[in-house]
Amino acid sequence: MASPRVSLFLLVSLVFFVTLSAAESLYATGLSESFYDTSCPQAASIVDAFVTKYLQKDRNFAGAFNRLQFHDCWVGGCDGSVLLNSTATNQAEREAHVNFGLRGVAEIDEIKAALEYACPGVVSCADILILAARDATVKVGGPTWTVATGRRDGVQSTDLMADTNLPFPVLNFSGLVANFAAKGFNAREMITLSGAHTIGRSHCNGILPHLYNFTGKDDVTDTDPAMDKEFSVLLKRLCPQGNRTNTIFIDSTANHFDRLYYQNVLGGRGVFITDSALITDPGSKKVVRSFAKRSSTFFSEFAAAMVKMGNLGVLTGTQGEIRKTCQFVN
């Protein structure tokens, strides 16, 4: 019979193994929380320092980093392909209609240059995107989450891939559910990730259909009837008909990650058609009401959804490459 001491050791070892296995199962195969511990132990701190610098200059840049992760991972996986430049023979993802006004590419490349100086050929652009989105969210009051690294960079990027995968801001509720389901996310996770609209800004390009073409009439009076009247007047002043390039904050606390987005949606103050769509379904509206409350689980569910998103279509091992600069393949 085993001694009590041996039995206790086996029990502790089993608990450790199960806990470790559970943690690792959160991530795609090939990703690890300790991936750069030996090859570039300062990687995370370098990314964090640069994100701090950018947000000190413009706190609203947190929304840009969140958008970059989503727009990268949703198109062929989290492989940094959204950062690639077009070539003479190829229109890259950044040229897609749905990527109009995308910010943060030059900043990611600046972080990459610092990492190349510290650890040449080690840290991928894909990982930098994921780390920057997490760090930026935390620095503007949002939740934190553990980032597993080890992604490698893709070499393919086309505007068609982006326009056929990313959700356009004119989708109704069923369209949103279908788009997220195609990536393995349920309706609640879709509503959760929509909460990223609590930070950031948008060009009027994505807002005009909500104000002037809601039913297809393309008329100054063709506004979503469910939109708060005073809010629609404000938006029309900021986004005159035909003006695609003006920029507005997505909510009144757009430099702070909070629950106000859901309160705005409930009050008819959703900026995009996709925002307002969240309360057109009874079940979805119930979730929005829940997330609008101070005691809600929105923060923890958002963190979990971002971890899950970071697993999409990752390249690991010998797949892909580690780019020298993020806007060009090697």
Q: What is the DSSP letter of 324?
A: S
Distance in angstroms (rounded) separating the CA atoms of residues 275 and 235: 14
Give the bridge partners for 247, in sequence order.
203
Active-site residue flag, 71: yes
How many C-beta atoms surround the C-beta of residue 271 within 10 A?
26
Contacts of 84 by beta carbon, 8 Å cutoff, 6+ apart: 92, 93, 94, 157, 326, 327, 328, 329
Closest listed residue to residue 113, CA positions, set 323, 330, 325, 322: 325
Under 8 Å between Cβ of 59 and 140: yes
Provide the phi-psi class of 320: left if phi over 0, else alpha when psi is between -120 and 50, else beta.
left
H-state helical runs in the chain? 4-24, 43-57, 61-73, 105-118, 125-139, 159-165, 173-181, 187-194, 208-212, 229-238, 260-266, 273-277, 282-291, 298-309
167 is in an annotated binding site: yes
Helix pair angle (173-181, 187-194), 10° resolution? 100
72 is in an annotated binding site: yes
Closest listed residue to residue 306, CA positions, set 151, 140, 134, 59: 134
Closest listed residue to residue 287, CA positions, set 202, 192, 158: 192
77 is in an annotated binding site: yes
Distance in angstroms (rounded) separating the CA atoms of residues 67 and 94: 12
81 is in an annotated binding site: yes
H-state helical runs in 25-148? 43-57, 61-73, 105-118, 125-139
75 is in an annotated binding site: yes
Contacts of 76 by beta carbon, 8 Å cutoff, 6+ apart: 154, 156, 161, 165, 313
Residue with tokens 């689980």: 297
251 is in an annotated binding site: yes
93 is in an annotated binding site: yes
Binding residues for heme b: 197
Binding residues for substrate are 167
Binding residues: 72, 75, 77, 79, 81, 93, 167, 197-198, 251, 253, 258
**Which sequence positions are flagged as catalytic?**
71
Query: Can you say which residues are annotated as belonging to the binding site for Ca(2+)?
Result: 72, 75, 77, 79, 81, 93, 198, 251, 253, 258
